[in-house]
Amino acid sequence: MKVLAFDFGASSGRAILGEYTGKNLKLQEIHRFSNDPVMINQVFYWDILRLFHEIKQGIQKCVKAGHSDISSISIDTWGVDFGLLDEYGNLLENPIHYRDARFDDIMEKTFAKCSQNEIYEKTGIQFLKFNTIFQLDWLKQNRPEMLEKTSVMLMIPDLLSYFLTGVKNAEYTIASTTQLVNAESGNWDYDIINKLGINPKIFPEIIKTGSLKGKLLPDIAEELGIDQVDIIACASHDTASAVVSAPLLKSENADDSVCSAYISCGTWSLLGAELSKPFINEDSFSHNFTNEGGYSDTIRFLKNISGLWLLQETRKHWNSQGENISFKDIDKMLETAVSANVYIDPDYPDFVSPGNIPQKINDFLKKTGQKTLTDKGQLALCILESLAMTYKYYILSMEKILGKTVETVHLIGGGVQDRNLCQFTANSTQKKVVAGPIEATAIGNIAVQLISKNAFEDMTQARQKLGDLEIFTSQNNEMWDKKYSEFLKYKNIK
């Protein structure tokens, strides 16, 4: 059985063919492309029509490669962002990028309508200034005519699926990232929506993960030379798909006092545990942990942390200055770089927006009385060491909140390719780190399609079909304990 997964990240996308032989799952990259947001008149947009074009290119390449016999297609993307359709089904404007500056001062204005406590108690979702709830409230306060023209709001993967099928609905895991879904019922929380003064009719039906979203439209099928294949609602939030592929086997969680943690690491790092029901209390609220929807009625209890965005933007800045530095070049720098023993908080607000990250890092170091950096290798080392210690910080927080001990950390996603990050994570947390799979999100996307097609019985069987995994154990514990003590001085600097 063959299925096609489209996996969109914040900086790139890919079409991955999954072929299940009955024994093994084989992956083949069919199409890879960049995802380049566009700044127009100081507004940061996603180039959604170009991304839809890349979907059609991926399907066409799949057909040309001899795989017109795929059974289904599914799409996963980042969370929180959305498109608005008018009464005729037309897109009102390109979706706004979550890093747009418009959301900097919105949260307190929203809390004046509906309290922070009430929002968290009902949704269990952590507070980030770009969450859908705040984006919609910004429109309500600043561009109400946009919402007046809106017939339906569709999250990005639901929007792209709508372009393929003409069907408007919302897949559960991506809907949960809006901070407008009730954690207990799994449906839209209309009490919050009404308090914000947003028309509840714009919110589409929420469908179960693994459901059929629709079939490929006849004109698109004809254009691309393929049958009207099923479009499946995978766990369409990319982290939810990644967690499907994490090898969190039940045998590891037999003792209720221990659990496994996962870190889905790419542009963002999502650190958490898989739970059977929401965990919402004062501790989870004060530590700003989230309860997002997962596949098979699970909850992704996690913390959203800045990830390799800092290194990606650093490289981007270097290259904008006339350099030609690859990630392999950075790895080579790290072979000889000596740690300056200076640290940043990767979640520092100034690091969220694009720009000259090396300068922003040195501004942080100067502000906190630390040595500034000019050596590129030391700068990269500062980022990776600080990120690894941030992982430790939130694992300790999660252990305290849940009353469980994390024994194993599963590092999944593109960040697994950075062996330094894998080793630093083991060194910092002093726990066993299991690295892999790399293409975690695409594999999770494919797995849900195969489950929906009855090729896999369930998620447990799917997780047993993973590729090679690598284990990292801690080194130099005493030195890393000292690093962590120093790092704590600079965490949560305002």
pLDDT in tens, 377-435: 999 999 999 999 999 999 999 999 999 999 999 999 989 999 999 999 999 999 999 99
The answer to whether the 2-238 and 248-435+464-494 domains have the same CATH topology is: yes
Give every CB contact of residue 64 below 8 A, 6+ residues apart in sequence.
Answer: none
| pLDDT at residue number 466 | 67
Catalytic entry in 76, 238, 347, 418: 238
Q: Where are the domains of the chain?
A: 2-238, 248-435+464-494
What pLDDT was estimated at residue 458? 87
Q: Are 387 and 373 in contact (CB under 8 A)?
A: no
Comparing CA positions, the residue from 479, 474, 445 lying closest to residue 462 is: 445
Interatomic CA distance for residues 448 and 234, integer angstroms: 6
Model pLDDT, residue 174: 98
SS3 432: strand
Banded model confidence at residue 253, pLDDT cuts 50, 70, 90: very low
Please report, rounded to a whole number, the percentage of residues in the chain having pLDDT higher than 70. 98
Distance CA 60, CA 165 (A): 17
Q: Is the pLDDT of residue 252 over 80?
A: no
CB 84 within 8 A of CB 92: yes
According to the model, what pLDDT value does residue 199 have? 98
Distance CA 131, CA 32 (A): 28
What is the pLDDT averaged over residues 359-372?
A: 98
- Report the pLDDT value the prediction gives residue 469, as an integer from 0 to 100: 87
Distance from C-alpha of 174 to C-alpha of 336, rounded to nearest angstrom: 42
With beta carbons less than 8 A apart as the criterion, state whether 292 and 439 touch: no
Domain formed by 2-238, architecture: 2-Layer Sandwich (3.30)
Q: Does the pLDDT of residue 462 top 90, yes or no?
A: no
Least confident of 49-58, 116-125, 450-459: 450-459
Q: Are 180 and 188 in contact (CB under 8 A)?
A: yes
What confidence tens digit (pLDDT) does each residue in 267-317 have? 889 999 999 999 999 999 999 999 999 999 899 999 989 899 999 999 999
Predicted confidence band of residue 254 (pLDDT cuts 50, 70, 90): very low
How many residues appear in the chain? Answer: 494
Q: Is 338 helix (H, G, I), strand (E, B) or coil?
A: coil
- Fold exhibited by the domain 248-435+464-494: Nucleotidyltransferase; domain 5 (3.30.420)
* Catalytic residue list contains 238: yes
3-state secondary structure of 34: strand
Tokens linked to 450: 């195969």
C-alpha distances out from residue 118 to 79, 111, 250, Å: 22, 9, 34
The dihedral through the CA atoms of 124, 130, 133, 138 has a sign that is: positive
Across the chain, mean pLDDT equals 95
